[in-house]
Amino acid sequence: MLKIAKYIILDIIRSKVIIAYTLLLMAISLTIFMTDADVTKGLVSITTVMMIIVPLVSIVYATTYYFNATEFTELLVSQPISRQTILLGKFIGISSAIMSAFFVGICIPVLIFAFSVTGLTLMASGALLTLSFVSLAFLTCTLTRDKAKGIGLALMIWFYCSIIFDGLVLLFLFCFSDYPLEKVMIFLTALNPIDLARILILLQLDISALMGYTGALYQQFFGSGQGIVFSLIMQLVWIVTPLLIALRIFKKKDL
Amino acid sequence: MRWIFFKLYIFLLLPVSVLAKTIIVAPKTTISSLKAAIKIANSGDTIIVKKGIYVSENTLINKELTILGENAPVLDARFHEEVVTITASHVKFDGFIIQNSKTGSMRDYAGIRLNNVAYVIISNNILRNNFFGIYLSDSKHIQVLHNHLTGSNNQENSGNGIHLWKCKYIFIKGNYVTRHRDGIYFEFAKKSLIEDNFSEKNIRYGMHFMFSDDDIYRHNTFKNNGSGVSVMYTRRIKMLNNLFIENWGSSIYGLLLKEISDSQIEGNRFIRNTTGVYMEGSDRINITNNNFQSNGWGIRVLASCDKNTFTQNNFKGNSFDVTTNGTLKHNYFNNNYWDKYEGYDLNKDGIGDIPYRPISLYAQIIEKIPQSVMLMRSFIVNLLDKVERAIPSVTPESVKDEKPRMKPWKR
């Protein structure tokens, strides 16, 4: 498993796309920190950018890489290695390569310029976000055999999670604004990994704006140890569940 | 000729200063309490109280005396009465530790009470664990300087630090107030100056104004008070160069204005408050040269406000710069710096070429559906805000800054 991961990492690290991704993230975070004296404002901007770019690149790159390495997968399957080992090895390989890009591109600048609880939360939620979208990418890859369809599906998932879902939530709030929706909202946010990551950072950044009745309730829930554990578990569920489903499909799949 | 007059004048003055005697109070001597010393003193005398602990249950100062504490003597009311009451004018009361006044719901027991006097100076005292700290009523020309007040921090039964009732020409400078109900409380106190005070962690307001016209408060710091600072039903107030910091929690405001008119708010800094300034029914207020930084809401202006002007302020890192609950009319924003401004400046005169609308669409949405606070900073909200900025339809048309600054005002 680790051997497969090692080969994949070595392969990906040399690829131009990952280098470009690293440089892009680094350029964004460095420019933001250099141009703005206010570190908190810098973190806000990085969060906004991160919430869009990190899931997009993670899911699209992982999907493309998976499809491009179909022959390699077929070769591995013909060897006496269990399919579970192959898929998990691939997951570890791809995700750790993208994670290292994230680490170099965002974590290092944040550590240098804005080392704080907010900064650490940002790093942790970004890393979890990467993992969950790589996991979702594996699901799309095993669901379909066609490369174009797979990438299309990956893009759809990204589009749904980053825009459509929040739009639907807003619509939902408008329709049922007469009802007490605070608890429902907590449940709804758990349905989207991007929202989970965003709220964890939000609780650090906009703490003073969250002091209204509703905000205070979220604050009370997500700010407490229990709430942090809940959101971490939900993030892990978002990583593990798609991967497990992908594994189930991959085991039975006729390659 | 002039010299002769001067000498004559000095000569005439001399007997008076010789006549005024100094009485020394010390433990285990013939004069072992302040009460005894006041009994034998005449107006114009000086009483010096040496270091020690004295029981003082409502010591009445009814003569024009200068009373000085040496090395901080303690006057203790043992929760039985008030500590000191001053009913004579021209008193100077300096350098004591005043503690443990009675608490009660029928009377406002105080550490130092001034009633119907003028030209009194209360300075350099430390007040601990009193119900009310310094209580001024019906007084004029009083100076309250450099006192240090700590209340009992009792939620149900706690009085104000410095309490003014029907006063005029009061000068309050350099005091520190904490753990009282209201740090500094003004009711019907007019033409007063409040300067360089520090009010923090009080149960209710750091400072509270009611019906107190023509006051100036400047260079004060209000930090982490139960509900910030509140100014109500007052006219012609000047608030200059104060610092409002970390007053936060639900319905807590850096500065709460209710029914205020013709006032000036200038050069203040509002940092990390839940709401920087909250305005309700306030008219003709000039808000200039202030810094609003890292607040949840920079300014919240209710629709009941009229003819206010906001100029040359800096808005940095607030979650929301300006919000309102309806349509704002006749409130003018001009020449402010907004960190969220995304316009351009083609002619390089430092002023953005397109107007800025400080009330975002999302702020309006939150106003209607508070639950949507959960969507803050999400992509969809940013998108909606951008669209609204480009083609305004929901946000109030009248609220806009025609000349937004490109760079923050330096102060």
Q: How far apart are CA B321 and CA B396, in angstroms?
A: 14
- What's the half-sphere exposure (Cβ side, CA atoms, 13 Å) at B390? 6
Residues making up chain B, counted from first to last? 411
Q: In what order do the strands lie in the sheet with B132-137?
A: B59-61, B84-86, B110-115, B132-137, B162-165, B184-187, B207-210, B228-235, B253-261, B275-280, B297-301, B320-323
Reported confidence tier of residue B1, pLDDT bands at 50, 70, 90: low
Provide the greatest CA pair distance for chain A: 61
Query: Percent of chain B at pLDDT above 90?
Result: 67
Q: How many domains are contained in chain B?
A: 1
CB contact set of A157 (below 8 Å; sequence gap of 6+): A59, A136, A140
The pLDDT, as a whole number, for residue B266 is 95
The pLDDT, as a whole number, for residue B254 is 92
Residue B123 scores a pLDDT above 90: yes
Reported confidence tier of residue A213, pLDDT bands at 50, 70, 90: low
Q: Which of B243, B251, B299 is nearest to B271 (CA)?
A: B243
A198 touches B at CB < 8 Å: yes
Across residues A72-90, what is the average pLDDT?
91
| Residues of chain A contacting residue B272, judged by C-beta atoms under 8 Å apart | 208
Q: DSSP label at B111?
A: E
Residue A91 scores a pLDDT above 90: yes
CB contact set of A211 (below 8 Å; sequence gap of 6+): A219, B248, B249, B250, B252, B274, B296
Residue B86 and residue B111 in contact, taking contact as beta carbons nearer than 8 Å: no
Across all residues in chain A, what is the average pLDDT? 89
Query: How many interchain CB pairs under 8 A, A with B?
Result: 99
Backbone φ and ψ for B304, nearest 5 degrees, come out as: -80, 0
The tens digit of pLDDT for each residue in B75-111 reads: 999 999 999 999 999 999 999 999 999 988 888 899 9
Q: Write out the residue range of the structural domain in which residue B88 sits.
A: 20-226
Give the distance from residue B226's alpha carbon to the nearest chain A alpha carbon, in angstroms: 14
Task: Nearest chain A residue to B367 by CA: give it.
Answer: A212
The pLDDT, as a whole number, for residue A208 is 62
Give the distance from residue B332's alpha carbon to the nearest chain A alpha carbon, in angstroms: 24
Provide the β-strand partners of residue B195: B173, B218
Question: Domain extents for chain A?
Answer: 2-252
DSSP A183-226: HHHHHHHTT-HHHHHHHHHHHHHSTTGGGSHHHHHHHHHHHSHH
Provide the greatest CA pair distance for chain B: 89
The pLDDT, as a whole number, for residue B139 is 95
Nearest 5 degrees, angle CA A28-CA A57-CA B343? Answer: 40
The tens digit of pLDDT for each residue in A149-159 reads: 999 999 999 99
Choose among A47, A174, A208: nearest Cβ to B248.
A208
pTM: 0.85
The alpha carbons of chain A give a radius of gyration, in whole angstroms, of 19
Reported confidence tier of residue B2, pLDDT bands at 50, 70, 90: low
Question: For residue B209, what are its two tokens?
Answer: 């104004």
Q: What are B's interface residues with A at a Cβ cutoff of 8 A?
A: 248-250, 252, 272-274, 294-297, 316-317, 319-320, 339, 365, 368-383
Across all residues in chain B, what is the average pLDDT? 90
DSSP B212-243: --S-EEES-EEES-SSEEEEEEEES-EEES-E
Among B247, B372, B374, most A C-beta atoms within 10 A, so best to mutate, is: B374
Among A125, A170, A198, A220, most B C-beta atoms within 10 A, so best to mutate, is: A170
Q: How far apart are CA B352 and CA B355, in angstroms?
A: 7
| Residues of chain A contacting residue B271, judged by C-beta atoms under 8 Å apart | none
Choose among B369, B378, B383: nearest Cβ to A177.
B369
Q: DSSP label at B152?
A: -
Q: How far apart are CA B388 and CA B302, in angstroms?
A: 21
The tens digit of pLDDT for each residue in A24-37 reads: 999 999 999 988 77
A209 touches B at CB < 8 Å: yes
Query: Is residue B209 domain-resident?
Result: yes
Q: Name the least confident of B180-189, B302-311, B324-333, B387-396.
A: B387-396
Q: How far apart are CA A218 and CA A213, in angstroms?
A: 9
Question: For residue A67, what are its two tokens?
Answer: 């499809």
Report CB contact under 8 Å: B274, A208.
yes
Provide the β-strand partners of residue B84: B59, B112
The CATH number linked to B217 is: 2.160.20.10
Q: How far apart are CA B90 and CA B31, in angstroms?
A: 23
Query: Is residue B170 domain-resident?
Result: yes
Query: Percent of chain A at pLDDT above 70?
Result: 97
The pLDDT, as a whole number, for residue A35 is 85
Reported confidence tier of residue B25, pLDDT bands at 50, 70, 90: very high
